């Protein structure tokens, strides 16, 4: 029996998954979580074999954050991402956090069940299109931003000035300018607008 925890902020999605998986005698949904913290708690308390994890919960913490914490448990379950989000940044972030697989929510039921079984037995389960994207990304590495640079660029995308960014992040205006220079260099751009557009296109910024 493969024990599963569902983690998704939409009750209808959780109910639908529970009903679908109930048709397989080898699968047992032992709990469902509506946010990342609840997913971590259930993974800790219920010791499932697989956590089926969405990426966005409408909270500051994401499914990737929860995946990282779950995978750091003493005897961690596998985490299989099931989401609508398919940017390179989302995929890479989830895999780097320790996800065993990555599927989109439009995957056929038999593909999802096969992925759950694979994850439970320690195998990687990636949708073919996702696997192809990851291979392409590995062959042609994309620029990456530090956590602070990402924070700065998020505020830039919200229309904040350098002075406002400095105040929000409790750093000097000179440090903000320095971060922007690094961002421009990494992304190969020369303006705030181009930096935001490039980061969104490559999945570095949602």
* Chain segment 77-129, per-residue pLDDT in tens: 999 999 887 776 777 778 888 898 888 888 899 999 999 999 999 888 887 76
Residues 6+ apart with CB under 8 A from 35: 9, 57, 59, 61
Residue entry with tokens 């913290």? 37
Q: Which tokens hold the place of 182?
A: 């690094």
Q: What is the mean pLDDT of residues 134-152?
A: 76
pLDDT for res 49: 97
Round to whole Å and give the CA distance between 55 and 50: 15
For the cut 90, the answer to whether the pLDDT of residue 52 exceeds it is yes
Dihedral angle sign, alpha carbons of residues 175, 177, 178, 184 = positive
Selection from 55, 62, 1 nearest residue 30 by Cα:
1
pLDDT for res 138: 60
Selection from 185, 187, 108, 199 nearest residue 151 by Cα:
199
Round to whole Å and give the CA distance between 44 and 144: 32
pLDDT for res 176: 94
Helix ranges (H only) for 122-190 are 128-139, 147-157, 162-169, 173-187
Helical (H) or strand (E) element with 2 = strand 2-7
Helical (H) or strand (E) element with 81 = strand 78-83
Helix ranges (H only) for 23-127 are 36-46, 63-71, 88-97, 109-120
Percent of the chain having pLDDT more than 90? 63
Pairwise pLDDT comparison (61 vs 41), residue with the higher score: 41
Selection from 92, 95, 34, 29 nearest residue 61 by Cα:
34
End-to-end Cα distance, the chain: 38
The pTM score is: 0.68
For the chain, list the domains and their CATH numbers.
Answer: 2-139 (3.40.50.2300), 147-201 (1.10.10.10)
């Amino acid at each position: 029996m493969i024990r599963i925890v569902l983690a998704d902020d939409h009750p209808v999605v959780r109910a639908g998954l529970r009903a679908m998986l109930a048709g397989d005698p080898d699968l047992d949904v032992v709990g469902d979580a509506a946010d990342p913290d609840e997913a971590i708690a259930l993974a800790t308390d219920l010791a499932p074999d697989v956590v089926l994890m969405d990426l966005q919960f409408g909270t500051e913490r994401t499914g990737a954050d929860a995946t990282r914490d779950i995978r750091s448990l003493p005897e961690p379950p596998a985490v299989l991402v099931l989401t609508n989000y398919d940017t390179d940044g989302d995929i890479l972030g989830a895999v780097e956090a320790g996800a065993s697989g990555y599927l989109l929510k439009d995957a056929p039921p038999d593909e999802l069940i096969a992925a759950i079984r694979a994850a439970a037995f320690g195998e990687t389960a990636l949708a073919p299109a996702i696997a192809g994207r990851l291979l392409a990304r590995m062959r042609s590495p994309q620029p990456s931003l530090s956590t602070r640079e990402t924070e700065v660029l998020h505020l830039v995308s919200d229309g904040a000035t350098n002075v406002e960014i400095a105040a929000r992040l409790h750093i000097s205006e000179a440090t903000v300018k320095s971060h922007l220079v690094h961002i421009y260099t990494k992304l190969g751009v020369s303006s705030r607008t181009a930096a935001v557009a490039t980061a969104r296109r490559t999945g570095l910024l949602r």
